[in-house]
Structure formats: C-alpha cells, structure tokens
Structure 1
Amino acid sequence: MVMGLINANPVIHEKKERRVRQAPETTDENAVEPIDQLEIFDHIRDIKDPEHPYSLEQLNVVTEDSIELNDESNHVRVTFTPTVEHCSMATVIGLCIRVKLIRSLPPRYKVDIRVAPGSHSTEAAVNKQLNDKERVAAALENPNLLDMVEECLSPTFD
C-alpha cells in the first residue's frame, strides 16, 4: 500500500483497442478536416494520472462518451470523473487535459473542461478554476505545476 495517496487502490480498467481513423477523401486542399470524438479521446486517453502509474483511460477518469464535440461551433467539452469524491489532484488532471487539447487541436476550438456532476466535493470551484483563462495561465507559470503537467503528458512505452 502506498502511503499518502488519496486513493491508494484505484480500480484499473483495460485500455480499449485503438481504432484506426479513416481520413476523409477530399480534393480541396484548403478544406478543414473535421475532428471527431474518437480523435479527441485519442489525444487524452494516455495522460498519466499524477498519483498513479496508470493512464486516465485505465482509471476510467476519461471515456470516449465523456467528450462532447460541436464541430460547427468549434467547441469541445470534456467531462472527467475523478476516482474519489475528494480527489486533491482533480485540478491538475483537468489542467493536463486542457494543455494536451490546446497543444493538439487547431486553435479555432474552444475547450471546456468539467468534472462530472456529483463526482467531486468541490465541483463548482474545480470547474471555475479549470475554465478561467487567467487562473490557467497563472497555474502554467508555476514551474512545479508545469513540471507535473509535463510529466503527466509525457509518453509511456507500454
């Protein structure tokens, strides 16, 4: 048993098999390729949990169904579910998801990150922090926090 962890024994889920996406056929070189829910999930599924050596997918923190996409209005919403109601890392997890999507998606997309309703004891405060541009910018200026985010986003070789 690991000491100091909020959820020392999380439930681990199997990773889904990756599906190959088919690129749409187009002759218009200026056409904007649409993005789908699966592509967004592929960007965030392998983010490592800040406290465990598992991905957010393995911990069932993010699922393909937790992603809402409106390609017409360029809006993405990811709703994640912390493993415990009082998870102290919920804001770090949300920040990791936000950073990964900002780095991966075209800049036209507005990204909205939320904890699932009823899944966290301070849900409103976490949601406010994760979707406030100034708070996010300030968090990313903190070298320790930025190092933690980068570690969570670094690729795994499993």
Structure 2
Amino acid sequence: MFVRQISRTIDIAATPEQVWATLTGFTAYGEWSPFIREVSGTAEAGQKLRVAISPAAGKAMTFRPTVIAAQPGRELRWLGRVLVPGLLDGEHSFTLEPFAGGTRLTQAERFSGVLVPLVGTAIDVGDDFDAMNRALRERVEATDTIAR
C-alpha cells in the first residue's frame, strides 16, 4: 500500500466553536473558499457529502465522500474513494485545537492505494490547503469582529 500525506496548519484568533461554525456552514463555501468550492450534506458520521474542489494547478472535480468523524469544535473527517477501496483513497481532515490566542486548525489529507505513485503531482494540494486555511481565518476573524 502506498501512502502520501499532506498537512497545513494555521492559527485563527477565534474559539474552536466559531471556527467549527464556519467550517460546517457548507452552503457558504462558495463565498469564501478558493479550494473546496462547494459542500452539501450533513457533518455527521456515516453521512455522505457532495464535495466540489478546484485545485489551483489541476482540474476541478466532484466526489461523494463519507463522513467518518464529526466532533463539534474538534474534528471533521471524511473518506473519499476512486472506484474501489485500495485503488486511491483520500481521508481528508480538519482538526481544531484550542490555545491561549484562539484555535490551531490543521487541514490534512492522507492518500493511500495502488494509484498513489501514478497520480504524481495531481495530489500535491498543499498550496490549496494554505489558501483555504487563510481564507477560513479571514472569514472567521471578520465574522467574530462583526459579532462583537
């Protein structure tokens, strides 16, 4: 089994609950996210989502992952597959950790399967994670400022 992991972290000056509200406010993704452009479904374990992504250096695509973890204010994780398990699986996660100044958000993807070596740079989405994390921080911090 081949594995490739990508992870990006950012600090956000807001509570985990505030970050979670934006992260799971799926209908608004098109307003702020440059990478994951659309999500529909419910952030509950076992539920299917419809996710549309637009990588800066690749082709837009839509897939239907299954939510495998949804712990409010802590973690959202889903698993997507290409055709059959073990061919090309992607486990995407958002982890929220509180700290004195707010929330540390880590967005990660663990790609596994026999196609991992063949897809090459098509799965190198670290820059897209960085862009989305920055946009999420701007959205959450702006919303937090308006709420005060």
Normalising to structure 2: TM-score of the pair?
0.31
Normalising to structure 1: TM-score of the pair?
0.29
Q: Which one has the largest radius of gyration?
A: 1
Indicate the structure whose relative CO is greater, using CA pairs within 8 Å and at least 6 residues apart: 2
